[in-house]
Amino acid sequence: MNIALLGYGKMGKIIEKIATDRKHEIVLKIDFYNQQDLTVENLKKADVVIEFSTPGSVLDNIQKCFDAGVPIVVGTTGWYEHLPELKKKCLDGGHTMLYASNFSVGVNIFFHVNKVLAKLMNNYPYYDVQVEEIHHMQKLDSPSGTAITIAEGIIENTDSKKEWVNILTSEGDETNDENIKNDQLLIESFRIDSVPGTHTVIYDSEVDSIEFKHTAHNRNGFALGAVLAAEWVHSKKGFFSVEEMFDFGI
């Protein structure tokens, strides 16, 4: 395929290498310094677009891809309050879009098992649950989109939690969770230099604790998943989340 990359930072460069290793061609690379090249005409040269930019630019990028009639795979997070309107715009216009808070195969397995575990733990209400996430200092949104997806999977399958709340904690600081209500699910976010991403679900009781954790060693898993998503979606029409391309069979 011919692929356009919107966002050519660390992630974009890894996506480029994986895509070219899989015999695809990168026909357009957009970063902060060549925004003038992000035109409908240039986007039409691509079979599919992979978007890893910033929360401030992602909506305009999606619209340009719709205008160009090119399928887009969106990895940027921090904009999900606009999902309903974008889904309507995508479907009404006959466009193609796939989004994910995380494209990693391992993380998507984690998402699935997290829901199964939450449903099981719902039978044991004396365990309280919270989510912790650790990312690098350059992470622009808090909590991470991955942490939100984990939290929503717990809330959907747990009677005691109605909403999530976030506390961003600097390294070395103590968490101030005194104002967290019993029906709120705490997502505690840490920002530490050079950490690709660690997410932990903690079930805690007076007698023991259960921890369920995913640790990314590097960004390669996210990038490979994004390329796999582009391969999966480029010939389809519609609005998709990444879980639709996974079939765990259970």
Average pLDDT over residues 5-19: 95
Known catalytic residue: 234?
no
Residue 54: pLDDT over 70: yes
CA distances from 170 to 49, 55, 173, 192, 193 (A): 35, 22, 6, 8, 11
Strand ranges (DSSP E) for the chain? 2-6, 25-30, 48-51, 72-74, 96-99, 128-135, 163-170, 184-191, 198-204, 209-215, 238-241
Query: pLDDT for 150-177, tens place per residue?
Result: 999 999 999 999 999 999 986 656 666 7
Which residue in the list 135, 161, 199, 234 is annotated as catalytic?
A: 135
Known catalytic residue: 24?
no
Query: pLDDT for 174-183, tens place per residue?
Result: 666 778 999 9
CB atoms within 10 A of CB 120: 11
Which residue in the list 24, 95, 139, 214 is annotated as catalytic?
A: 139
pLDDT of the residue at 144: 87
Work out the mean pLDDT of the chain and round it to a whole number. Answer: 92
Orientation angle between helical segments 10-21 and 220-233, nearest 10 degrees = 60
Of 76, 29, 36, nearest to 57 by C-alpha is 76
The whole-model pTM stands at 0.81
In angstroms, rounded to a whole number, what is the distance separating the alpha carbons of residues 193 and 136? 5
